[in-house]
Amino acid sequence: MTEAELDKAFDDAVERVNAHTDPFPADLLLRLYAYYKKATNNYERPGSRKPIINAFKTNALFQVQNVSPSEAKMEYIKLVDHYFLYRK
């Protein structure tokens, strides 16, 4: 897969997540959050008003610290595809 194809597939996966109206499982949301932040090179600190949420997000980011942005995009796509395939 070329970088352009990967970017397109990643953007499509992000769009699927954003368009979904039912709640996602919390563990999936944390993994999506971490891979998204890594894939987009967004190193801002978590900004929730609840310290416990920030702690979970920080932990999720810590777990993907050695993942490249391209790998993060691929993992994000896999998570989204798996969720939408098996959610029912």
pLDDT in tens, 3-51: 999 999 999 999 999 999 999 999 999 999 999 999 999 988 888 889 9
Residue 1 scores a pLDDT above 80: yes
Amino acid making up residue 55: A
Amino acid making up residue 85: L
Write out the two tokens for 86. 């098996």
Q: For the chain, how many structural domains are there in total?
A: 1
What is d(CA 54, CA 50) in angstroms, rounded to the nearest whole number?
A: 7
Q: Is this structure's pTM higher than 0.85? A: yes
Amino acid making up residue 19: A
CATH code where residue 45 lies: 1.20.80.10
3-state secondary structure of 49: coil
Domain that includes residue 13, residue range: 3-19+26-86
Query: Taking the CA of residue 47 as centre, how many other CA atoms within 13 Å lie in the half-sphere pointing to its CB?
Result: 4
